Structure 1
Amino acid sequence: MAKQHSTTESPLPAAHSLAAEVADLRLLLGQRDAEIATMRDEAARAAARQHTFLALLVRELRNPLAPVSLANTMLAKLPEPSAGLLNVHAVIHRQVQHLSHLLDELLDAASLNDGTMTLARSPAPLVALLRRALQTVQVRILERHQQLQLDMPEELTVHADPARLAQAFANLLVNASRYTADGGIIRMAARAHEGRAVVTVADNGAGMAPEVLAAMFDLFTQGARAPARAEGGLGVGLNVARNIVELHGGKIVGASDGPGRGSVFTVSLPLWSGADGTAAAAGRAAPPSRRILLVEDNLDANDTLGQLLLAEGHSVTAAYDGIAGLSLARTQVFDVLICDINLPGLDGYELITQLRRTAGAHIPFAIAISGYARPDNRTRAIAAGFGQYVVKPLDIDALLALVASEAVTRFIAAAGNAR
């Protein structure tokens, strides 16, 4: 008898299999989404750690630069300095400025890339910004006997943060000089085009290969270095320049016909349509004498800055920690407080906060000095009660000018009238 075969099968086996595959895929996608979210969180934490590390690194490197810079300033102020001494002073000054510039670039790059940099914009003549940028790199260009060709009309005005936009153009000029041979040519030109200011920085230097062009604005990216070039760089200058230009509503592009054929960078910015932002400078009175309380825990920095202030005709009382500084501020009369932020015992923020809360104790104008250059540090200092925030290494001429300024005189006069 022949065997009978059953034809009964489970219903829709393909549908069950497909449903299982879909469920597995959904589970896999959920796992991938969770992994991506975790990776994003880790990347954000890593970026935050990197920024914190960079800020700390810059501050720790700036702190020893401050007394070096101040001591070097005193070298030039010695009576009848010899030619050799002045040469040593010039060398130290250049190297301090170079290191300070590298530190500023690091912190600026971090601030720009995490969106914490803020601008103080006002109408500004474009030619003044370009000349300010040129002053930054003039010594470098002269030392390398490079030819600088300029075409800068006077009438263009932009709405800009003058210091930041000048920094962007200086970075472009530094880049052009760095990758152009001694005796090479650098051209800077500005013109108006369809309601925008267009600035070009061109050179006949090393040029760029296509793969370099594609990544030229990325952080820590550099072109090929000439074997004879002694100076280095961090590879952040073009990134900083691009981000500053974009913060101003502008655009920057770079082009090159290839290695050995030079480069051209073109910046386009909106023209300011309002009134001209320039104003005549007012005449200055003779520098007044201030009663200054200097609070700085670095002994060398305190001593050298104190001597420089004394040489300008000011009276100086020194304190080396926050507690001693606050005690002096409460018991003596001063016109100006110059106070480091990172102090032992009581930091600068707390010192000024407590001083402003103390009845009968008042210093009309307070200047914070710090190795941190982040905008939030500046904002916190101003909110606590400081009138100005100065980053180390100090520009001593700018600090002395601030102390003797008419603005500070008005603060002192107002405080006197209120008593």
Structure 2
Amino acid sequence: MSALPPDLEERILLRTATSRDAGMASAVLERAHFVSQVCDDMGSLVDELLRGAGAIMLAEEVLVGPALAVLTGALAAQPPWSDVPVLVLARQGADSRAIANAMDEFANVTVIERPMRVAALVSAVRTALRSRRRQYELRNLLEGLRDADQRKTEFLATLAHELRNPLAPLGTALSLLQRKKPGPEEAGKYYELMNRQVEHMVRLVNDLMEVSRITRGKIELHLGPVLLDAVIDDAVELSRPLFERAGHALTVDLAGDPLVVRGDAVRLTQVFSNLMNNAAKYTPAGGRVTVSARQEGRQAVVSVSDTGTGLAPEMLKSIFEMFVQVSGTARDAQGGLGIGLTLVKSLVELQGGSVEAASEGLGRGATFTVRLPLAKSAAATGRRTRMSQDGWAPSIEGTVLVVDDNRDAADTLAELLTSMGATALVAYGGEEALQLAREHDIDIAVLDIGMPGMDGCELARQLRAGPRGADLKLIALTGWGQQGYRDRIAAAGFDHHLIKPLNLSEFMAVL
């Protein structure tokens, strides 16, 4: 039973012995600002009950024969959250058979003896309605939990689907490399395919971790004056491959004067890149996407419009909620968990802004508009957030110790370092790593954290305590990125903390 209009949810259904009694009771309730509905018989009362009621008020005289059975059946058929209060107006004097039956049959019953004081009647009705409102709160809570559970179920199904998608070509490419053993030129296309699929999986995991950090209040923002033009340029560069693959026309219309906002440049780039990616994914090939920025009062306003699948009116608010999927459009998108807009809303609001969606309906495109407060001083300068993908040195000198209990992870990283000119040593545990450190002059140690026995933090402390510990560069490479782990890693003496899977350009910048 969904929420009903207040005049239905809080009305008092009346069934009295005479029409004169009904008129008097209705007048008393009206003067006390209650909504009442007089019912001519028990059948019509039950019909009205199905439409909605705050309480039922009955005369003792009507609780006889088939009428009692009809009401008892209707009350027994209520949904689990509902327990409609029943007020019985009893005749003065000794307890009657009808009152005894009512007390036995109805769980939530109050007996008021006639003649009654108006104040007593009004007080009883108010108490009954307070009880009924608590039931409505429970109903809304249960419906919210049911909806959330449904969304979570759909989300997990989507997550499984999206993770299987890249795993299938990865497995096929590995099988082809093993069976065909192609030369370097032919193998290159398989390596590129595998790299694309791994990057896709990394984006999925990163989105999940971002949502987790935001919902737990663990995200850190580095706020300062940000040139919005530079942020939008960076976001366009990040999203450009999607536009090119789909053959979309992209138009960027920036304000004539520079717009400076107070925010986190990296996070704002993430916001606008997510919006552009969504526009590209949900727009059929050969579509058009427009990004515009303008000033309205003391706000910078950025809109991302597309000619894509659009949104139904009922989705305009819920589209930003966790686990919400747009029915019928998921198959049109080229991968994704449907949590990008949740990230967008959270990140924008953390920076004092707002975001809204608009659409003329399904198949008629959509516009997402972000509003951000302008910085007080417009003299600030922007800074590009994009990292060059080919700005790392072609070779590494020195000896690097790689420690990870996952042998495949340790061996492949060591092989990568060797291909770049480094002398790579591999250990699969803390004690083995300490032995290698005693036997070799190590310049850099790349340590996993979550290892059995001696974990990476304890190993780092012991390496730091060694004869060359002061000159040793320690890098944590781990799947744990939460703040608690970051604090623990920093306290152990690490110079850098990198998150798995390895981002090559970031790793090379550290080296």
Q: TM-score range by the shorter chain?
A: 0.7 to 0.9
Contact 2:402/2:445 (8 A) holds in 1: yes
Corresponding residue pairs, total: 359
Q: For residues 393 and 329 of structure 2, what CA distance do their matches in structure 1 show? A: 51
1:87-134 residue CA offsets vs partner (Å, 9 max, x unmatched)? 222221221111111111112112112211112334443233223322
Amino acid at match of 2:202: S
Q: Distance in 1 between matches of 2:420 and 2:468?
A: 29
Listed as ranges, the matches of 1:240-255 within 5 Å are: 240-255=343-358
Q: Whose Rg is larger? A: 2
Match of 1:134 in 2: 236
1:117 lines up with 2:222 in the alignment: no
Paired position in structure 2 for 1:349? 457
Q: Distance in 1 between matches of 2:337 and 2:417?
A: 35
CA pair 278-105 structure 1, distance change in 2 beyond 3 A: closer
- For the aligned residue pairs, the C-alpha RMSD in angstroms reads 4.2
Deviation at 1:255, TM superposition (A): 0.9
Tell me by how many angstroms 1:145 deviates: 0.9
* Deviates most, 284-293 or 329-338: 284-293
Name 2:101's counterpart in structure 1: none
Partner in structure 2 of residue 413 of structure 1 = none
2:203 aligned to which of 101, 104, 108: 101
Distance in 2, Cα, partners of 1:391 & 1:318: 19
For residue 472 of structure 2, what is the amino acid of its counterpart? P
**1:220 equivalent in alignment to 2:343:** no
Question: 1-side partners of 2:116 and 2:468: how far apart?
Answer: 88
| Separation in structure 1 between the aligned mates of residue 316 and residue 247 of structure 2, nearest angstrom | 27
Using the alignment, how far apart are the partners of 1:329 and 1:394 within structure 2? 24
SS at match of 2:240: helix
TM-aligned CA distance change 1:193 to 1:103, over 3 Å = same
Displacement of 1:80 in angstroms is: 8.4
Does residue 275 of the first structure (1) align with residue 380 of the second (2)?
A: yes
2:495 aligned to which of 387, 392, 400 = 387
Q: Distance in 2 between matches of 1:167 and 1:179?
A: 18
Amino acid at match of 2:194: I
User: Which deviations, in whole Å up to 9, do the C-alpha atoms of 1:358-404 show, x marking residues without a partner?
Assistant: 5763353221111223333333322322222111111112212220x
| CA shift for structure 1 position 219 | 0.9
Distance 1:253 1:140, change over 3 A: same
Note closer, same or farther for the CA distance 1:318–1:81 as it changes in structure 2 (3 Å cut).
same
Which whole-Å deviations, capped at 9, do the CAs of 1:324-375 have from their partners, x for residues lacking one?
Answer: 2244346643222211111122111222234345576335322111122333
Residue ranges of structure 2 left out of the alignment (5+ in a row)? 1-92, 94-114
Paired residues for 1:2-401 under 5 Å: 81-82=184-185, 84-152=186-254, 155-226=258-329, 229=332, 231-272=334-375, 273=377, 275-278=380-383, 289-329=397-437, 332-357=440-465, 361-401=469-509
Structure 1 residues 362 and 14: CA distance shift in structure 2, 3 A? farther
Taking structure 1 as reference, are residues 130 and 85 closer, same or farther at Cα in structure 2, changes over 3 Å only? Answer: farther
Percent identity between the two aligned chains? 37
CA contact 2:473–2:494 (8 Å) conserved in 1: yes
Q: Residues of 2 paired with 1:289 and 1:124: CA distance?
A: 38
In structure 1, list runs of 5 or more residues that go unmatched. Answer: 1-6, 8-12, 404-419
SS at match of 2:222: coil
Amino acid of the residue matched to residue 397 of structure 2?
S
Residues 294 and 319 in structure 1, CA contact (< 8 A), matched pair in contact too: yes
Deviations 1:137-177 (A, max 9, x none): 22222111111111235833333333322111111112111
Query: Structure 1 residues 309, 155: closer, same or farther in 2, change over 3 A?
Result: farther
SS at match of 2:243: helix
Aligned letter for 2:205?
L
TM-score (norm 2): 0.60
Q: How far apart, in 1, do the equivalents of 2:372 and 2:442 lie?
A: 46
Retained in 2: the 8 A contact 1:249–1:270? yes
Q: Judge conservation of contact 1:329–1:363 (CA < 8 Å) in 2.
A: no
- SS of 1:210's equivalent in the other structure is coil
